Chains A and B, each alone.
Chain A
């Protein structure tokens, strides 16, 4: 009895050690990576696809949470066990494409999709050589959220699509005031951010310059335009205007939905946060205004569906079938209903769209279609983007660690080094 018990215990321990998650799909199974499952991709679509294609393919859904999924995906690609389809952080799509991990979707798009049915963002995964390494899951655009009640209280006109930085500053100044007369400001006009998508990139684009050249070979940081753009944020803060409440420009979103700030730059997925935290807030959204040189942009993050290039043909077919299913009119209508991670990319959704909350969703879509801009994803993106993130944070801080000119020069050199290195490794 004692011996048997010991054997059982030993077997259980062995089982515990070896009972690890098997990342490899069993033979004949097509594994589709849907990070965070129904909370990112509407569950109705996932279920609908399985119901429709379940007879054709033996489908297995990997719905690992988003952050963990991206790490797992790296390991899957490294070990050759990645799912046939995955939703990839947009910043990594180009590098994965150049490294041969992502399938070039251009031939499939040309064969099966009528691109006129989609907004131009469908091509956002295209590289300089015309390869398409991924197609967007949705468009999460940077926009200005504004509180209509705070505007009404001061009798200020709501922002319009053709507004400018000067308009925005004028409005922000009028909306920054001390209501109770205690010498402290109670309301502020504008809140800006520090990160790439709702911070330094829209600002730089508004001043007419991208951080790297279009062919991703030259850094463009140590320039008068970038200096002007970054100085603007200092001026909005404690550099003179004091129209923003945050000395460090770190977004505390509650400031906005607690109605202390009139305008806030954010991604449209912020609508979901507002629905949960402030469902009765009277607000709308507007595109980012045109910068001093007249440049207007609509930066959006298109996390991408990508097909694992090293999968077998059946798996690739299943993955492409899913993408087509996801882009069908029926599925895109479902996406519009749930607004998971941004706006859908099929035009018909907007043609039949009725009244929305916020009201100006159509205006934003138009903005993306007219002047949409991705996060400049390309070779070495994750590294040079982090370098600029850090430099920008230091540059706009009250007390930067070194002279601001030096920050720009050093950042220019560091970004150039990363680009040179990444381009040297690029598989053409």
Chain B
């Protein structure tokens, strides 16, 4: 790159660099500091060393929160990516109405979380919810988010996230699918490969870079889940310890109890856990991700 181009590049990058420094790195650095402080917002932070971590680590609520977010991730991520692949395959056709269908699949992604949660609260209602009404025809019934089994509650909420998020993941997957060279597929045709063999033996391996990217992004989203748990399980009176997630705990510590230090410590604990998972994912990349 010429010096002139480099100068212009820096000029255009400056606003974003300033934004990153002020709105991302500055709060990040201070949140490290706050994680070691007792800080109630009203008074200056007071250094307490590892006290916040010492309080969080033995607290059953902390580990229940991580248990729930991992259960959420395990039920949400694989299903969402699998469905995104199916939908992307369906939308990767030469149909006249394809634009319409793509919009339909993407629409849930645009719906605000609060609206989604309100609608699903009614749909999931054990007494008069339409889902149970439908299930009753098959002799089935579920308590969904009213269940006493935490796993049922968590999977009920992950189903909502799947419904809401699958559209945007489908768009990513569709882009990756359209990037697959037609030569490869034509060669497979000549070799007599059927549609199923082509999907699993040609398309799937070539989609693994995108699946890998979606996995990285989804794990961050799953561990940071907040809206559905807070809106549907909180109801203004806080989320039960058995059903909480790290994002909700962090919110309560920082904004309800004004224990900013505890909230910051929680966020760095989450950061460490997500970091470890991401490192493991990255290490495993070369074993299953195929670049064309």
A binding-site residues for B, Cβ under 8 Å:
6-7, 9-10, 13-14, 16-18, 71, 74-75, 77-78, 95-96, 99-101, 194-195, 247-248, 250, 382-383, 386, 389-390, 392-394, 397, 399, 401, 425
B12 touches A13 (CB 8 A): yes
A10 touches B14 (CB 8 A): yes
- Measured in the bound complex, the distance between the Cα atoms of B7 and A10 in whole Å is 12
Q: Does B257 count as interface, using CB distance less than 8 angstroms?
A: yes
The residue in chain B whose Cβ has the minimal distance to the Cβ of A73 is: B41
Min Cβ gap B233→A in Å is 10
What are the nearest 4 A-B pairs in CB distance? A99-B42, A389-B237, A13-B15, A399-B148
Min Cβ gap B143→A in Å is 9
A17 touches B241 (CB 8 A): no
B252 touches A386 (CB 8 A): yes
Chief secondary structure at chain A's binding surface: helix
CB within 8 Å of A: which B78-137 residues: 127
CB within 8 Å of A: which B202-247 residues: 235-242
Knowing A17-B15, A95-B40, the reply to whether A383 touches B255 (Cβ < 8 A) is no
B12 touches A9 (CB 8 A): yes
Contacts of A399 in B (CB 8 A): 148
Q: Does B49 count as interface, using CB distance less than 8 angstroms?
A: no
User: Given A10-B11, A392-B237, 16 more contacts at CB 8 Å?
Assistant: A10-B12, A13-B16, A74-B255, A77-B42, A95-B258, A96-B42, A100-B43, A383-B257, A386-B237, A389-B238, A390-B237, A390-B238, A399-B148, A401-B148, A401-B242, A425-B40
Contacts of A386 in B (CB 8 A): 237-238, 252, 256-257
With beta carbons under 8 angstroms apart, the residue of B11, B15, B237 that contacts A194 is B237
Contacts of A389 in B (CB 8 A): 237-238
The residue in chain A whose Cβ has the minimal distance to the Cβ of B260 is: A78
- Measured in the bound complex, the distance between the Cα atoms of B239 and A7 in whole Å is 51
Q: Does B195 count as interface, using CB distance less than 8 angstroms?
A: no
7 A-B residue pairings within 8 Å (CB atoms): A17-B15, A18-B15, A382-B257, A383-B259, A386-B238, A389-B237, A394-B240
B241 touches A390 (CB 8 A): yes
Contacts of A100 in B (CB 8 A): 42-43
Min Cβ gap B56→A in Å is 15
Contacts of B127 in A (CB 8 A): 247
- Measured in the bound complex, the distance between the Cα atoms of B145 and A397 in whole Å is 13
With beta carbons under 8 angstroms apart, the residue of A6, A17, A75, A394 that contacts B18 is A17
Contacts of A247 in B (CB 8 A): 127
Contacts of B237 in A (CB 8 A): 194-195, 386, 389-390, 392-393
- Measured in the bound complex, the distance between the Cα atoms of B239 and A329 in whole Å is 43
Contacts of A71 in B (CB 8 A): 255
B binding-site residues for A, Cβ under 8 Å:
8, 11-12, 14-16, 18-19, 40-43, 127, 146, 148, 235-242, 252, 255-259
A6 touches B252 (CB 8 A): no
With beta carbons under 8 angstroms apart, the residue of B19, B146, B239, B256 that contacts A383 is B256
Q: How many A-B residue pairs have CB under 8 A?
A: 77
Knowing A100-B42, A390-B237, the reply to whether A17 touches B16 (Cβ < 8 A) is yes
Knowing A248-B146, A386-B257, A399-B148, the reply to whether A95 touches B42 (Cβ < 8 A) is yes
The residue in chain A whose Cβ has the minimal distance to the Cβ of B241 is: A390
With beta carbons under 8 angstroms apart, the residue of B15, B236, B257 that contacts A10 is B15
With beta carbons under 8 angstroms apart, the residue of B42, B146, B235 that contacts A78 is B42
B19 touches A77 (CB 8 A): no
Contacts of B40 in A (CB 8 A): 95, 99, 425
Contacts of B8 in A (CB 8 A): 6
A195 touches B240 (CB 8 A): no
Min Cβ gap A313→B in Å is 21
Contacts of A393 in B (CB 8 A): 237, 240
Knowing A95-B40, A100-B43, A195-B236, the reply to whether A74 touches B258 (Cβ < 8 A) is yes
Which of B11, B42, B239, B252 counts the most A-chain CB atoms under 10 A from its CB?
B42
- Measured in the bound complex, the distance between the Cα atoms of B14 and A18 in whole Å is 11
The residue in chain A whose Cβ has the minimal distance to the Cβ of B242 is: A401
- Measured in the bound complex, the distance between the Cα atoms of B147 and A397 in whole Å is 11
Contacts of B42 in A (CB 8 A): 77-78, 95-96, 99-101
Min Cβ gap B18→A in Å is 6
A77 touches B236 (CB 8 A): no
With beta carbons under 8 angstroms apart, the residue of A6, A74, A250, A397 that contacts B11 is A6
The residue in chain A whose Cβ has the minimal distance to the Cβ of B19 is: A17
The residue in chain A whose Cβ has the minimal distance to the Cβ of B255 is: A71
A382 touches B146 (CB 8 A): no
Min Cβ gap A360→B in Å is 27
- Measured in the bound complex, the distance between the Cα atoms of B253 and A382 in whole Å is 10
Min Cβ gap B256→A in Å is 5
- Measured in the bound complex, the distance between the Cα atoms of B239 and A195 in whole Å is 13
The residue in chain A whose Cβ has the minimal distance to the Cβ of B20 is: A17
Contacts of A78 in B (CB 8 A): 41-42
With beta carbons under 8 angstroms apart, the residue of B41, B148, B242, B256 that contacts A77 is B41
Contacts of B238 in A (CB 8 A): 386, 389-390
Contacts of B14 in A (CB 8 A): 10, 14
A401 touches B18 (CB 8 A): no
Contacts of B19 in A (CB 8 A): 17
The residue in chain B whose Cβ has the minimal distance to the Cβ of A250 is: B235
Min Cβ gap B44→A in Å is 9
Contacts of A382 in B (CB 8 A): 256-258
- Measured in the bound complex, the distance between the Cα atoms of B236 and A424 in whole Å is 28
Contacts of A383 in B (CB 8 A): 256-257, 259
The residue in chain A whose Cβ has the minimal distance to the Cβ of B18 is: A17
Contacts of B41 in A (CB 8 A): 74-75, 77-78
Contacts of A401 in B (CB 8 A): 148, 240-242
Min Cβ gap A399→B in Å is 4
Min Cβ gap A77→B in Å is 6
- Measured in the bound complex, the distance between the Cα atoms of B15 and A392 in whole Å is 50
Contacts of A18 in B (CB 8 A): 15, 18
Knowing A99-B40, A390-B238, A390-B240, the reply to whether A16 touches B257 (Cβ < 8 A) is no
Contacts of A397 in B (CB 8 A): 148
- Measured in the bound complex, the distance between the Cα atoms of B256 and A394 in whole Å is 20
